[in-house]
Amino acid sequence: MSEYSYDIVVLGAGPGGYECAIRCAQYGKKVALVEARELGGTCLNRGCIPTKALLHGAEMFEAAKSAADCGVTLGEVGFDFAKLAEYKDGVVNKLRTGIAGLEKAHGVKVIKGFGKVVDAHTLSVENEGSTEEITFDKLILATGSSPARPPIPGIDGENVITSDEILTMSELPESFVIIGGGVIGIEFATLFSTLGKPVTVIEMMPSILPGVDADIVRVLGRVLKKKKVTVINNAKVTGIEGGSTVSVKYELNGEEKTAEGACCVVSVGRRAQTSNIGLEALGIEMNRAFVNIDEHCRTNIENIYAIGDITGKIQLAHVATAQGFVAAANACGVKEEKMDYSIVPSCIYTSPEIAFVGLSEDKAKEQGIEYKLGSYNVAGNGRAMIMGDAMGTAKLIADNSGKLLGAQLMCPRATDMIAELALALRMGANIEDIVNTIHPHPTVSEVVAEAAHDYEGLCCHALPKKK
């Protein structure tokens, strides 16, 4: 028998942690999964799933308003946010119950409580005033992140909230000021504006969605303007005055200005949840609040691994899951696995959706890479037109030999389509491989093929380019 309670203990049950625990059990190990809150972590309970459920409701509302164009008579279209919130909670609860069933079916012991590392082989778990200690051969840290709250005067004022609080609401405020024009902020701007609420977004960078392809951001800017979203770039927030009306003060071009709304949403990134879990006493190497790991997801302590947002790599649920599988293989001694962060698809659930992978045009320029573009205007796609959402673009970036370097999509269901291009990049595909892959018609996926044809100067569904 082992001298330890468990072969593997996973601390944190987000998408990285709970799948890592299952994988370790599949490798034949005795596994415990420790979580202070709900199974599924931030992604399922306060992030990816609830926000997309709300966005789906907003999308349905928008579709219903234009249903008459397709001959569907609905009468007056209304919206009940409390009902949508109930739907969102139902989806979350169903998925959470499913995770619990999966852990049990694979023999993973789920332990409720706040875990703290005592030494390299011991974890204390506190729950409702009682504490137990469990021992382990290997530990995998997966404690995730929480919304950042920068030191802005007034940030703790009335009606100043983060994404966590939004997702507990059953009634929407009448207007919003969003601090931060990154992915989370812009997704919420899309949600609120689609439901008819005035939105102002304040972003300190020259553009919203920093790092996203400039052409796509320009198109999105037009979409947001049509939805009556006010975007203020190059603005530094200097203070917030909470109350029934929230006033957000900011500097723009040397002038002090104010934006007002019934609610202020602070959306300026996320911070790693690594404090008070015993890492300092154990001597785990840190980079500020992040845990340093090698390509095997191992910390400087040989039997302790870390995955997900606490590693400071790429704060995406699917990256945490990939790290979890790598950590599981290495911790269980099944095979030596390494993380590859060069091909990670990113998704933004605006309307239309945005998804990208690999190099952008701007990044290729920065790195001095010679490249050639293939692009296609989604307005020419039959399926997108049928769906009433024919705005956006598809861009493929390849070197002069045709080897694919990156792809950017802005179109309906872009987030479902980007995996094709991630696989193409991983397999070292070239433009000709995409051209020779028959894409079904009519589908939105045809925009990928059209962009590949455009790279070759042979796109049939676009006007000839002037020479």
Catalytic positions, please?
A: 441
**Both tokens assigned to 39:** 């199974």
Structure tokens belonging to residue 164: 């966590």
**Rounded to whole angstroms, how far apart are CA atoms 56 and 84?**
9
Report whether 376 contacts 390 (CB < 8 A).
Answer: no
**Can you say how many angstroms the Cα of residue 218 is from the centroid of all Cα atoms in its chain?**
21
Residues forming beta bridges with residue 272, ordered by sequence position: 145
Residues sharing a CB contact under 8 Å with residue 439, sequence separation 6 or more, in sequence order: 445, 446, 448, 449
Helix (H, G, I), strand (E, B) or coil at 71: coil
Q: Is 57 exposed, middle or buried (0-12, 13-18, 19+ CB in 10 A)?
A: buried
Taking alpha carbons only, the member of 445, 422, 171 closest to residue 319 is 422
The number of angstroms, rounded, from the C-alpha of 221 to the middle of its chain's C-alpha atoms is 20
Question: What is the C-alpha to C-alpha distance for residues 405 and 387, in angstroms, rounded to an integer?
Answer: 30
What does the DSSP assignment read for 189-253?
HHHHHHTT--EEEE-SSSSSSTTS-HHHHHHHHHHHHHTTEEEE-S-EEEEEE-SSSEEEEEEET
The three-point CA angle 124-127-132 to 5° equals 35
For residue 124, give the amino acid letter.
S
Cα gap 283→253, rounded to integer Å:
46
Cα 47 to chain centroid, rounded: 8
- The set of residues, in sequence order, having a beta carbon less than 8 Å from that of 163 and lying 6+ positions away, is 46, 47, 51, 147, 184, 188, 265, 267
- 3-class DSSP state of 259: strand
| Dist. CA 51–CA 37, nearest whole Å | 19
Residue with tokens 């439901």: 195
CB-based burial, 417-453: b 16+ in 10 Å, e otherwise: bbebbbebbeeebbbeebbeeebeeebbbbbbbbbbb
Question: What is the distance between the alpha carbons of residues 162 and 240, in angstroms, rounded to a whole number?
Answer: 14
